[in-house]
Amino acid sequence: MNEQVTAVSLAVSTVIFALRDDDDNGRSSLRIPLVRRIREPFAGRWALPGGPIEAAESLGEAAGRNLLETTGLEPTYLEQLYAFGDVERSAGERVVSIVYWALVRPAEADRATVGDNVRWFPADELPELAFDHNEIVAYALWRLRTKLEYSRIAHAFIGETFTIAELRGVHEAILQRELDPANFRRQIESSKAIIDTGERVTGARHRPPKLYRYDSSVSLTENGPLSRP
């Protein structure tokens, strides 16, 4: 092991997923915020929010700072995704980008900086992005959809308490397909991931649906020894 200095430079980028209401069909869809590049290479193209790493900050701190500076977002969930370092990915320069991903609730997403140079895009319908960022988003989407099956990842998109139908809506938006309501209820109830709060939705309905919460004893992430409190 020789941790020698090398000429390759380093950056961080973040893929941020949020569920936003769709204008046309009344359902939610998965969206990501992109930043328009104002200089070369790829001036004018949309790109993932990101930037350089300062000497005095960890990788996660660098990801969080760059995200805040470019979009105003401060997600509570920020996890390392993958380091992208193909030789040809950065138009002549040699840049390795350590990519984080973040999941934000709609209320957090609404706090994002609005302006000509930040815009939310449907995660499945992106223009041609700068660098290899289309490939990065495709990988992040795949990871999100894979993780949904065996973890509590949907939690990051909804409130503390929720109905089974709301939770199904989150899964449908991420997976981009409809799920059978009875099957979904059976699966999620048998998974022991959620807990009946004993409360019900308030309102005038005859049989208001039950409210559930996630079992907080189970960590949202699965970083094991790397998990932070």
Binding site for its own copies (CB under 8 A): 1-11, 13, 35, 37, 39, 47-59, 70, 80, 82-83, 85-87, 90, 93-98, 130-131, 133, 135, 138-139, 142-143, 146, 150, 222-226
- Identity of the residue, 80 or 113, whose beta carbon is nearer to its own copies in the bound complex: 80
Shortest distance, CB of residue 33 to its own copies, whole angstroms?
Answer: 11
Q: Which is nearer to its own copies, 3 or 24 (CB)?
A: 3
Nearest distance from C-beta of residue 79 to its own copies, angstroms: 11
Is the Cβ of residue 118 or residue 170 nearer to its own copies in the bound state?
Answer: 118
Q: How far is the CB of 102 from its own copies (least distance, A)?
A: 15
Tokens of 139: 């990988």
Rounded to a whole number of angstroms, the minimum distance from the CB of residue 143 to its own copies is: 7
Distance of CA 118 to the CA centre of its chain: 16
Going from the C-alpha of 210 to that of each of 96, 158, 166, 185, the distances in angstroms are: 48, 15, 11, 12
Instruction: Return the number of the residue (103 or 211) whose C-beta is nearest its own copies.
Output: 103
Cα separation, 144 vs 17, in Å, equals: 9
Q: Give 80-85's long-range contacts (Cβ < 8 A, gap of 24+).
A: 81/15, 81/136, 81/139, 81/140, 81/143, 82/136, 82/139, 84/132, 84/135, 84/136, 85/8
Task: Give the integer Cα–Cα distance in Å for 17 and 23.
Answer: 18
Q: How far is the CB of 26 from its own copies (least distance, A)?
A: 31
